[in-house]
Chains A and B, each alone.
Chain A
Amino acid sequence: MTKALSPWRDPVALLAAPAVLYLLALYALPLVWLLAKSFSGPAGLTLAPYAEFFADPFNWRVVANTLSIALWVTLVCLLIGYPASFALARAGAALQIAMLVAIILPLSVGVVVKAFAWQIVLRRDGVVSQLLVGLGIWDEPQRLLFTETGLVLGAANIFLPFMILPIYSVVKLIDPRLDEAGATLGATPIYRFLRVTLPLSLPGVVSGVAFVFSMSVSMYVIPSLLIGDRFQTLSTLTGRSFLFMRNEQLGSTTAVILLALAVSIVVGSGRLARRLGGSA
């Protein structure tokens, strides 16, 4: 019996070296610098920048803005993306290719272009307003641009593929006969979904949620174009601190808080999903 080599001794592990070096130089080291900067003061290590940040009620509102928008975007993507993933996984070959092209092709369009397009769509005389007036939901044209609803709609459109594709990759591996087996045993469609399909699809959901949440919590260009300077998020505050106010410490502090929020939500949702999956 051959014994598996330790990753440190396995020469195949060297194949990962370029990627490791790349991430080390361009991600890990700047991150360490960012952390160090956020904890450093004139007299050495300090928590003062964090204390100062959280002592300001305005900053709490910025954190709340950031989290609420990210959660709404993730929820909208999940509600639209989850059924779409099943439709994609169960579609015939030709339709599946067409659907995949429709999902993947928009990724080739830049975020700035998409955000500008949404500016047109969300205007007072834009398609959404006209549609809602036409359907009788609104009495008169209204603007969705520069509203939180408009931001959620625009961001959800941009991030939707990142929800659909991970769920699809899991759902396509679920054997459809499991559902049929449940039906033959007398389980109702809802019971079959909740006890069989949902638990099996949860790894995809967790990946999709992690992708979309982490991207929407840190989005910078989209809120800048769809809601403007009057709605501050942690990423816009970070950008402003570095680029305009030249306050590296405040920028580092907000960046670390943003990172901590994103990591804790992603890790927490992963654990929750595993627990739910395990109990199902």
Chain B
Amino acid sequence: MPIHRIHLSRRRLMAGSAAAAAFAVTGSPAIVRAQAKEVVVGGAASMAPWVNGTFASAFQDKYKCKLTFEGTRSLVNLEKMQKNKDKQYLSVVMMDDPVMILAVQEGLLEKLTPAAIPNLAKTRPEAIDMDGMWANYLQPWQGVAVNAKALPSGVATWAELYDAKYKGRLVLPSLQNTEGLANLVMAAHLETGKPFAQAQFDIDAGFKKIKALKPNILTIYTQIPQAFNLLEQGEAWAIPSAFSSVVLPREKEAPIKMYVPKEGIFVGPAGIALVKGGPAPELAKALINEMLSADMQARLQPETYAFPSNVDAPAPPGIPAGTPVINLDWQFVAKERGEWVKRWDREMAI
């Protein structure tokens, strides 16, 4: 019996592949539809472990789809949306509030509504920004990080940090850093006695008060590793307004501890938004809804060390019930921050 050998040249192989692909597209639309069930999310590189892990696993199982996460800087995500304005490939973005404001100004985001995203109704009102252009999901909270050996009983209040016993022992974040603004707002509150909702707009009072902190300042940082190196080594005793996402993972490895002062904690900007004209809009809305759910926020809390925005989600361990939670008005911050930084340089310099 003759044996027919099939000679498969590279050209034939390519032609065969093309024919197979054409058949898949024209003859098997179900396959194509299945492939199109993908949602691409742009976020911060530091989020990748929990987005690709706990969150992606639960979301993909529930919606039988593929979640692709592109981790980079918020400004890079903004640029991706700007460059692809006519044909977006990102469906959802997770960025800092100041960058969200820029995205809104450029018309890159679509408003979130409770009809499309039911969990929006369960989100703290102050965590919904610009009338629903984006919402905060898990927000890193800010208290006072201390060196546990130098201050074994911790720090009870923000006001206490002005005491002379802290001379040369505090490390403050620069106003260039997102977390740095909390100190200025707290200073305004301490100076005026006004509630935070009002004090945050009285920045003159904040500058007046915070100048009294100068003798206690060891340095002002822009690089977080440098600040924590000083705290862990004991040269610095406390970092007011440090982020929980930075301090809490380090507590197991170094003699540092996060404290919740009596006046309250700040919650940082961590927004999630729908890209206008992005692909798979229904899946994107489902993803945002999932991220705003109490169940998902509770599940992600141990990994993100953040404060939930859903009112039904439990507060993170270590935060006493009734602790005031302070949100800043990031639109106001975005408008004024450049001038504050200039003023900070002039008034807080050595």
A187 to B221, CA, bound (A): 56
Max chain B Cβ within 10 angstroms of own Cβ: one of A146, A225, A228, A231: A228
Name the B residues within 8 Å of A125 (CB-CB): 234-235
Binary per-residue interface labels of chain A (222-237) against chain B in the complex, 1 for a CB within 8 Å, 0 otherwise? 0011011111100000
User: Is B168's CB under 8 angstroms from A231's CB?
Assistant: no
User: Is A228's CB under 8 angstroms from B176's CB?
Assistant: no
| A240: interface (CB < 8 Å) | yes
Name the B residues within 8 Å of A224 (CB-CB): 222-223, 226
Identify the closest chain B residue to A236 (Cβ): B222
| B6: interface (CB < 8 Å) | no
A38 to B262, CA, bound (A): 49
Binary per-residue interface labels of chain B (206-244) against chain A in the complex, 1 for a CB within 8 Å, 0 otherwise? 000000000001111111001001100111000000000
Name the A residues within 8 Å of B345 (CB-CB): 58, 232
Known: A119-B229, A123-B233. Is A229-B222 also a contact (CB below 8 A)?
yes
| A124: interface (CB < 8 Å) | yes
Name the A residues within 8 Å of B222 (CB-CB): 224, 229
A230 to B211, CA, bound (A): 13
User: Is B349's CB under 8 angstroms from A123's CB?
Assistant: no
User: Is A229's CB under 8 angstroms from B174's CB?
Assistant: yes
Contact of B168 among A58, A143, A244 (CB under 8 A): A143
User: Is B229's CB under 8 angstroms from A229's CB?
Assistant: no
Max chain B Cβ within 10 angstroms of own Cβ: one of A145, A244, A247: A244
Name the A residues within 8 Å of B338 (CB-CB): 245, 247
| A116: interface (CB < 8 Å) | yes
Contact of A230 among B168, B226, B233, B348 (CB under 8 A): B348
Name the A residues within 8 Å of B350 (CB-CB): 227, 230-231
Interface residues of B in 169-220 (CB under 8 A from A): 174, 176, 217-220
Interface residues on B, range: 20 to 34
User: Is B346's CB under 8 angstroms from A58's CB?
Assistant: yes
Name the B residues within 8 Å of A146 (CB-CB): 218-219
Identify the closest chain A residue to B171 (Cβ): A228
User: Is A119's CB under 8 angstroms from B230's CB?
Assistant: yes
Name the A residues within 8 Å of B121 (CB-CB): none
A143 to B219, CA, bound (A): 12
Say how far A106's CB is from chain B's closest CB, in angstroms: 21
Binary per-residue interface labels of chain A (122-138) against chain B in the complex, 1 for a CB within 8 Å, 0 otherwise? 01110000000000000
User: Is A116's CB under 8 angstroms from B219's CB?
Assistant: no
Identify the closest chain A residue to B234 (Cβ): A125
Known: A123-B235, A124-B235, A230-B219. Is A244-B230 also a contact (CB below 8 A)?
no
A174 to B349, CA, bound (A): 48
A240 to B177, CA, bound (A): 12
Say how far A152's CB is from chain B's closest CB, in angstroms: 14
User: Is A225's CB under 8 angstroms from B226's CB?
Assistant: yes
| B341: interface (CB < 8 Å) | yes
Name the B residues within 8 Å of A145 (CB-CB): 218-219, 235
Contact of A227 among B174, B219, B233 (CB under 8 A): B219
A100 to B337, CA, bound (A): 50
Max chain B Cβ within 10 angstroms of own Cβ: one of A124, A145, A146: A146
A116 to B228, CA, bound (A): 12
Name the A residues within 8 Å of B168 (CB-CB): 143
User: Is B221's CB under 8 angstroms from A143's CB?
Assistant: no
Binary per-residue interface labels of chain A (82-119) against chain B in the complex, 1 for a CB within 8 Å, 0 otherwise? 00000000000000000000000000000000001001
Name the A residues within 8 Å of B348 (CB-CB): 230
User: Is A245's CB under 8 angstroms from B219's CB?
Assistant: no
Say how far B170's CB is from chain A's closest CB, in angstroms: 12
Binary per-residue interface labels of chain A (201-221) against chain B in the complex, 1 for a CB within 8 Å, 0 otherwise? 000000000000000000000
A143 to B222, CA, bound (A): 21
User: Is B219's CB under 8 angstroms from A228's CB?
Assistant: yes
A-B contact pairs, 9 of them (CB 8 A): A58-B345, A61-B349, A119-B230, A120-B233, A228-B221, A229-B176, A229-B221, A231-B350, A240-B341
Closest 7 CB pairs between A and B? A228-B219, A229-B220, A146-B219, A230-B350, A244-B176, A229-B174, A123-B235
Q: Which A residues contact B (CB, under 8 angstroms)?
A: 58, 61, 116, 119-120, 123-125, 143, 145-146, 224-225, 227-232, 240, 244-245, 247
